[in-house]
Amino acid sequence: MALIVQKFGGTSVGNPDRIKNVARRVAKYRAKGDQVVVVVSAMSGVTDNLIKMAKEIMPIPNEREMDMLLATGEQTTIALTAIALHALDIPATSMTGAQAGIVTDDVHTKAKIKNISPKLVHEMLDAGNVVIVAGFQGQTIAGQITTLGRGGSDLTAIALAAALKADLCQIYTDVDGVYTADPRIVKTARHLPEISYDEMLELAGLGAKVMQSRSVEFAKKFGVVFEVRSSLNDNPGTIVKEETLSMEGVVIRGVSLDKNQAKVTLVAVPDQPGVAGHIFKAIADANINVDMIVQNISHKADKPSTDISFTVDKPELLKTQKVIEALKTKIGFSDVIADEKIGKLSIVGVGMRSHPGVAAKMFETLATEGVNIGMISTSEIKISVIIDLAKGEQAMCAVHEAFLGK
């Protein structure tokens, strides 16, 4: 008897009929005698609608209240999913994040899981139930409802799989797993049967959309092998696990394009020690994640100053600008420029480590396409560039062709 954690996203539970499909899939595993824990997201559209109502009332609503509000989305789905299993004569019980023992810190809308005490989950499983847990949410020690931020339901599933020592963790989504590039953009993209945590991590952090990086980080940390697969068919998915030797034979695993970033540039920042620290401390204090940072020194001898650029998630842009504006008199930069029309194009592969010249080949390919590079950032197994959003897809196809075209 295996213990399986299955996670279904918002599209898979988008309406009562789809929830019935999810129940039928769960029933198949259960018929084999497996214990099943199901983690579900809010029905697609529900979270956006709640956010829309809140913003109609106040443009930047309080984050504790947003958690109170958004947690209802997943709570709705767990109840409906339990009912759908009952309709198939399968004993099932729903649990909120709090009831499943998911304890988080108190950083509302972006809480981190501190620990999981799945006593009740075990009890209910042992009593013969399928247990349906609300993804994306938890509770602080003080009993406040929190949410885990974007991709939080994946994180719930992987963290539960770790805490329950599950035999298998399946992340159901609307694609068959991970591809060398988004098949909707790059027609020649190929399905990957397996991928290392590190590669998945870089892809996840880069807007490959399949999963958020924190879930993959968590899986890597706790050695949770998981499968990303489609809820629409029975095709095998992509297994995400520790790197193997054979993975290094391939230079580039995939190409991704992140359209969800915005670039902020502070113009003519006084070139003094401590200024950058001051800026990014203020941003971190507001719980905004900064991705890339670039600083260019300008050599005006009389009044040394510099431009500092960085990227944040688009939804954080307004909040970021408020934080920055508040620093203006104190720091004394001349202007703030925000640019939402950017894309971050990245290539990822553990094989990159042992193959020199990968960056050069990428930059040449972009030059041939007439694509200007705005910012560059590299890691051991990744190269990212910020380019004009309008040329993003064209650049992505060209780079995919250069590295992965048969």
Which of 83, 185, 267, 286 is close enough to bind a copy of itself by CB under 8 A?
Answer: 83
Q: Is 33 left (phi over 0), alpha (psi -120 to 50) or beta?
A: left
Report yes or no: 36 and 6 within 8 Å, Cβ to Cβ. Answer: yes
- Binding segment toward a copy of itself, per CB under 8 A, in 53-61, 312-320, 336-344, 368-376: 53-61
267 binds a copy of itself (CB under 8 A): no
79 binds a copy of itself (CB under 8 A): yes
Binder among 54, 373, 376, 389 for a copy of itself (CB under 8 A): 54
Q: Which of 39, 71, 275, 381 binds a copy of itself (CB under 8 A)?
A: 71
Among 145, 161, 210, 371, binds a copy of itself (CB under 8 A): 145
**Tokens 């539960």 -> residue:** 160
Least distance to a copy of itself from the beta carbon of 16, Å? 4
Task: Out of 28, 62, 335, 340, name the contact with a copy of itself by CB under 8 A.
Answer: 62
Span of 16-24, 163-171, 231-239, 296-304 interacting with a copy of itself by CB under 8 A: 16-24
d(CA 22, CA 309) in angstroms, rounded, equals: 45
Cβ proximity to a copy of itself: between 64 and 150 the closer is 64
* Helical pair 275-285 and 317-331, crossing angle rounded to 10 deg: 140
Residue number, 139 or 231, with CB nearest to a copy of itself: 139
Q: Measured between alpha carbons, how far is 159 from 360 in angstroms, rounded to an integer?
A: 39
**Closer CB to a copy of itself, residue 73 or residue 343?**
73
In the list 19, 37, 276, 397, the residue contacting a copy of itself (rule: CB under 8 A) is 19
Instruction: Give helix then strand counts, H and E, for the chain.
Output: 11, 22
CB closer to a copy of itself, 156 vs 265: 156
The footprint of a copy of itself on residues 325-354 (CB under 8 A) is none
And the tokens for 202?
């870089």
End-to-end CA distance of the chain: 42
SS3 at position 24: helix
- Find residue 195's DSSP bridge partners: 240
If one asks whether residue 96 binds a copy of itself (CB under 8 A), the answer comes out as yes
Q: What is the DSSP string of 41-106?
A: -PPTTHHHHHHHHHHHH-SS--HHHHHHHHHHHHHHHHHHHHHHHHHTT--EEEE-TTTTTEEE-S
From 71-79, 105-113, 166-174, 343-351, span contacting a copy of itself (CB under 8 A):
71-79
Strand spans (E) along 245-357: 254-258, 261-270, 290-298, 305-313, 335-339, 342-348
Tokens 């510099």: give the residue: 306
Among 4, 26, 37, 78, interactor with a copy of itself by CB under 8 A: 78
Binding site for a copy of itself (CB under 8 A): 16-17, 19-20, 50, 53-54, 56-58, 61-62, 64-66, 68-69, 71-73, 75-76, 78-80, 82-84, 86-87, 93-94, 96, 99, 143, 145
